[in-house]
Structure 1
């Protein structure tokens, strides 16, 4: 699995090389906290994904128990720790893409928090 990063809010453009044969996963918008945090977040969540101009339907995760293992200096937790929380949001998992260039546009929103990432993906040709 090849994971693409979302944002902490706002709009960014990124370029990324993806190894051949790797499925891809990424969030449109997500968060973790307790069950009530996720219920409030998910009550107004929405998002869109376009891969090479084609719409992709995201998967909805209302609130799953997750384990977070962070590293020192982590932008979210601020320190190295391990804890459980409720995770929720909109995610997409794609099968591996054909070699070549691809355009991926990700948008997500919940209330006044919004994210957007425009990826220029370059999938390597298989080494076989």
Structure 2
């Protein structure tokens, strides 16, 4: 038995995604898993400076976090050649069943890079994906396998040119709850 197997014969990692990893749905699910990979002290959504932005990043995309409400300004370095993916506004649901997508019909969002508005895509995962996070993680709070669905207004960017960039994104549920993140990125 491989070292990645537990004593009970189950893989120690999460189940494969029900979506291709680079599809919009796959990226949204990977973003949720990325947030869940962090315990409460290094949660990228609670991060107030950007110091935790590089933790548990995948090799093929750079993920950025918003907030659980309110605004934040962060600084972080991004490796050259890495596309970016982030939510202007999103919601997840757990435990979730097929078709249970937490759509927020009045949600709005915005994003801009270096003062230029960016398009947002509405992405939802109708098929739940498994999340096994760190204890106390910001998604499910538990390391136990949990089926999750996510919905949101998302942006993806091709790799940025080397140098300094300012990225701002955020959104609202249309009823008073809002989020906003400003990133000062250095690509090198």
Q: Give the TM-score normalised by structure 1.
A: 0.86
Q: Deviations along 1:49-88, whole A, 9 cap, x unmatched?
A: 0100000011101443233221112133222122212210
RMSD: 1.6
User: Aligned to 1:74, which of 130, 137, 140?
Assistant: 137
Query: Who is 1:28 aligned against?
Result: 88
2:102 aligns to what SS in structure 1? Answer: helix
Could you tell me how far 1:37 is from its partner in structure 2?
6.0
Q: Distance in 1 between matches of 2:84 and 2:76?
A: 12
Query: Who is 1:6 aligned against?
Result: 66
When Rg is computed on C-alpha atoms for both structures, the one with the higher figure is: 2
Higher relative contact order (CA 8 A, sep 6+): 1
Whether 1:112 aligns to 2:176 is yes
Q: Distance in 1 between matches of 2:78 and 2:107?
A: 28
Q: Distance in 2 between matches of 1:62 and 1:37?
A: 7
Higher strand share: 1
1:73 aligns to what SS in structure 2? Answer: coil
User: Aligned to 2:187, which of 99, 102, 123?
Assistant: 123
Q: Is the Cα–Cα contact under 8 Å of residues 38 and 63 in structure 1 kept in the other structure?
A: no
Where structure 2 has 5 or more consecutive residues not aligned to the other structure, the ranges are 1-60
Q: Is the Cα–Cα contact under 8 Å of residues 132 and 142 in structure 2 kept in the other structure?
A: no
Could you tell me how far 1:36 is from its partner in structure 2?
5.6
Q: Is the Cα–Cα contact under 8 Å of residues 100 and 126 in structure 2 kept in the other structure?
A: no
Q: Distance in 1 between matches of 2:71 and 2:152?
A: 18
